[in-house]
Chain A
């Protein structure tokens, strides 16, 4: 069974630029999560989808971050404009539903200069 796929694996941008990350969850998984992991800290949830609806986006900085999950499968997370403090690893995870184990992708490491 294929795992959670993410791309790109690494991205370097300058502040005020925009960037997008892509996630393809495990086939059949209804719940998709985006976490932000700043160096030296544990991952923090940014947004949770159930199929193509948002369940929790309470910690998403909505003035600059946006995410969508069209058709309830792939998801894209966008940052516009990026700030220095957005430098982090962005993790995508999926689960069969919200009560089941979450499987994590390899992450995208973002560096904002």
Chain B
């Protein structure tokens, strides 16, 4: 079945460092890809999404490009802040084939130190 694999955490960076969180997926259809973020004590929030190959999603300085050839959707940010400390989840949804449910990776915890 469809699945998502993320790099394991926790990831600890200094403020202003470059961030990459790797995400690869397996899907039989044509999924949409998402990054969700969960800040401490808060619910899941959509960070960005891409609906087809070569699309780039971006929000709050974060970017991810849908790479069908490598089945990847890596999250990047050029300069992280302490406020970016959170758990990041990569997810896919095969809206047309499977009704819209999200399949999540296991999450990557990011800790940014001042």
* Of the residues B43, B98, B106, contact of A104 by C-beta under 8 Å: B43
Main secondary structure of the interface of B (DSSP, over half): mixed
Listed residue (B43, B101, B104) with the most chain A CB atoms within 10 angstroms of its CB:
B101
Q: Which residues of A lie under 8 Å from residue B46 when comparing CB positions?
A: 101-102
Q: Is B69 an interface residue (CB 8 A)?
A: no
1/0 per residue, CB under 8 A from B, across A82-113: the answer is 00000000010101011101101111000000
Q: Is A45 an interface residue (CB 8 A)?
A: yes
How far is A25 from B114 in the complex, measured between Cα atoms in Å? 38
Q: Is B102 an interface residue (CB 8 A)?
A: yes
Q: Is B105 an interface residue (CB 8 A)?
A: yes
Would B44 and A55 count as touching, CB distance under 8 A? no
* Of the residues B4, B43, B100, contact of A95 by C-beta under 8 Å: B100
Size bracket, chain B contacts: 20 to 34
Q: Is B95 an interface residue (CB 8 A)?
A: yes
- B residues 77-111 with Cβ under 8 Å of A? 89, 91, 95, 98-107
27 contacts between A and B (CB under 8 A): A31-B100, A35-B102, A40-B107, A42-B4, A42-B89, A42-B104, A42-B106, A43-B102, A43-B104, A45-B101, A45-B102, A45-B103, A48-B101, A50-B99, A55-B99, A56-B99, A91-B43, A91-B44, A93-B44, A97-B100, A98-B99, A99-B100, A101-B49, A102-B102, A104-B44, A106-B43, A107-B43
6 nearest A-B residue pairs (beta carbon): A42-B104, A98-B100, A104-B44, A45-B101, A104-B43, A106-B43
